[in-house]
Structure 1
Amino acid sequence: MTQVGEGPAAGSAAGSLSGLAVGDVLAERYRLEEHINDDSAGRQVWRGVDIVLRRPVALVLRTPGGASAEEMLSAAVTASRVVHGNLIGVYDAIDEGERAYVIREWIDGTALRDLVAEEGPFDAERTTSVLHAVADAVSALHASGMAHGNVHPGTVLVATDGRVVLADARADSTTSNEADVRSLGALAYFMLTGHWPRAEADRVTALPDGRRDSTGTLVAPRNVRAGVPTYLDDLVMDLLDAKLALPTAQVLTGELARLDTGERLLFGGNGTLRFADDSAPAEPAPRAATPRLLVAGGVALALVVSGLVLAVRALNADATEPPSSQPTGSAVQASASAAPQPKALDLTKDQVRIIAPFGDRDNATQAPNMVDGNAKTVWKTTGYRQSNFGNGDKKGIGILITLDKPQLVSSVTVELSAPGTSASLVGGAADAPNSRAGDKTIVDTFKPVAGSQSFGKDSGTTMVFSTDASTPYQYLMVWITDLPRDPSETEYPYRVGVQEIVVEVQ
């Protein structure tokens, strides 16, 4: 288990800590039990035991001590004065000259970085809960006059009992409260997507960078994966926008607290996150694919976070009155609230088919698996020797989606069995005969859907083709042009599976 993770180096790189071994006792009190890891600053992290109080502790050691360890020790001493349930407890800070070390609370749990790697991105509820806990810890530090300076997925620990703890403050003259709040936005982005926006968070880590479009602009979480509610997506992107002034950690914590307390959270079927009152009649449960969150008293709850987004933007608004021709804030809010929310279609097996103008329609009978609401059932391509389907005429394979009628499509989400697939979303005005000639007509005549982006080989397992919803479509096709390598296969190793496809319309 990782007790501290990667982050900015604390001052100059630490030297080698040779000669330490299990069973050694430091300061006649702290016995080393297990070497856990070395962090990016070259410090060793050990699990140990306080033999006086007989409790487990974590020891963070570096060499040499003295002036080069001053920042580490100073940050530990300052942090020890702040007692908070979401801050790791600091027990001691010792400088022996040849080495220095900090003794702190041992957390039986997992770093957030490792948790997301093991379990995948979090849903909106879990993201909000963890973000609230970390923001509360940061707010407590800021109230004491200290910035943390090291908020990232390696320093957030989730205990086995569910407690969320922020560790390893490295505040120095270069850190600021604003940088901490910006990092909270990056932390939320990571929990929702599994990617860390390096440039926006101003920190290089070993984590994969945030998803970016062809211009290098950070892609919003809801365009990386399905199911991210708009209000949370807006909040995260505003916190990461360097052009916008930031709320204080205290303000952010207060608003997140309203979202994270007392409300009963229920999971329904697929579709985007929405809010419903308990007294409302129950809807028939749609097929389960992408979770939808139902929140009691949700209208007020949505306004809480929406209000924070508006407050962040209000910090940056011009102080003068808007021209009479410009809509006022209340008019904008009324317009926004009236906008229809996208809804997921309940596709049937007859609404999807495989398109291959050249070569075989790979495992075409499996196509219904992509719309059955079960991620364990998959349509798979056959295996190929090369990622681009080989040197023959076959340049790709398509999944045709036929809607009941022309509709304004807001997004198409494709869940894949493996990352590294290249694909695009195209559409057309008419179907063609279910034949090889018909397949060729579809490939030749369908054009890219307005507003949608293509995904390259750096894509993950979730592709969200967002559109501008300006043109009605009845016929859509996901066109796959490059396949990832399956390490379990040798002769024909390039293949991919599609677990689920979700189409959302206005």
Structure 2
Amino acid sequence: MSSGPRLGNNPGANNTSLVAGGVIGDGRYRLLAQSGVDDRGAAHLWRARDGQLNRDVALTILTGDLGDLQAAGRARRTTERAMHASSFTHPGVSRVIDVLTPGSGLRMDEGVLGVVVAEWTQGTDLMDLITEGPLPAGAATRLLEPLGAAIEGAHHAGLVLGADHPQRIRVTPDGRLRLAFPGARPEAIARDDVKGLGAILYLLLTGRWALPGGPAGVPVAPTGPDGAVVAPRALQPYVPHELSSVAVRSLEDTSVGGIRTSAAILQVLDQIAEEEAQTALIEPISDDEDDGDRAVWTTQKPLGGRSHKRKLLIAVAVLAVATLAVIAWLGVQIVSFFSDEDTGKGGPTVVIGQSASPGQSATPTAPVPAGPIQPGSVGVYDVTNNPDNANRANRAVDNNVDTAWNTDNYFQPFPTLKPGIGLMASFAEPVKLASVTVTSKSAGTLVEIRIAASEDAPLEETKVIATATLSAGQTQIQLNEYEPGAHVLLWITKLAGSGKDNQTEIGELVYTRAQ
């Protein structure tokens, strides 16, 4: 995007050489087109022509007043870091080929405090890529992986790239994101690269920028009441949960569950890419196939021949086996229903709550049940601000076991992407419960029953009063003695399933009041 120069209010920015056609660096570099401005470091990003070597280069021009000691010091630190990074080579980063400072390639009166010269990246600007709208998740993943790998490699080498501004990034002709304008700010740390990676992912998925100091004209990412960035999935429902979650968590403070390293982001990107590749292996139906073989519904006369008869016999055989299986299952259900014998499957599994409090008696006294009580509301409780199916939470308390709330399907078990997730039930007044009965098909799910002071209380301020492993069907969790509370959290610490399929479904929650 070849816009005119945006020099802001920086001292020295009125230099007439910083226009298309102007020259810099003792006349060696002729400016061709401006790619953007990173106002946080008074860095102007230009495509230029190296007159000595007759090639295009990328210039990160640091502007300011040479008399401003603070600005001069910042520019000097940026050029020093760029010089150190010149030894790092990776396809996801443009190689630094020269560094200019006042007195060594720059005239003292140019109003330029430093220049980082890097090889030019052919392709297009990142901002041009999203002019038509957000990208599909698969495309965003494939674009971002090389840049993520470059950041990971640089961090292992003890370097910070400064990949936290979208106008520093370009898209190569073969579809890779590349840091085209190196030159990390003096205060930038490795965590800023991780945030930048998450912000770029957020930009690709939503068309919005989620960090301060973004380009003018680019929509800012919306935030929730707590100030946290709204998850991409809330804006674009097609975004996979893992991708949405990793984008948000990479932007969060690590003290509240934020992602610390680019390796964690790369792991999710690799998984999404693998899923995309497996989907691509499914062969589409060819237009030149026999219509009789692929028609779901047709009014044509049935085709004859041995092939058709063989397919018909196979279909009839499969239907017969399925019918017999259904009849057998119905018979078993009827016998089980009228049987007086205890099969171990007729009633709910009863679990005595195990308190997390130290020094508790081995046989705690459980409250005596008085009857069920309906909560006033129930909502999804998620410490990452990326709740699963929040609009379906009420299905868990609608007195209908045929409806259910379920978590998203996670490629990795907790706590890889989040420490857990839960359902917070709020009552009109503090209550004391004797038990919580969970109806679920997701056997093996580990849950905790917690008491909270409010529906949005931090997890560390909630108190565990029981733990249980859910069985398929009903699991009655008997609670230990505790002080009454108005907010009760069912906190899931382990989902059902394994491998890349980790998901839990909650069909119904019944809260029984104690006498």
* Normalised TM-score (structure 2): 0.49
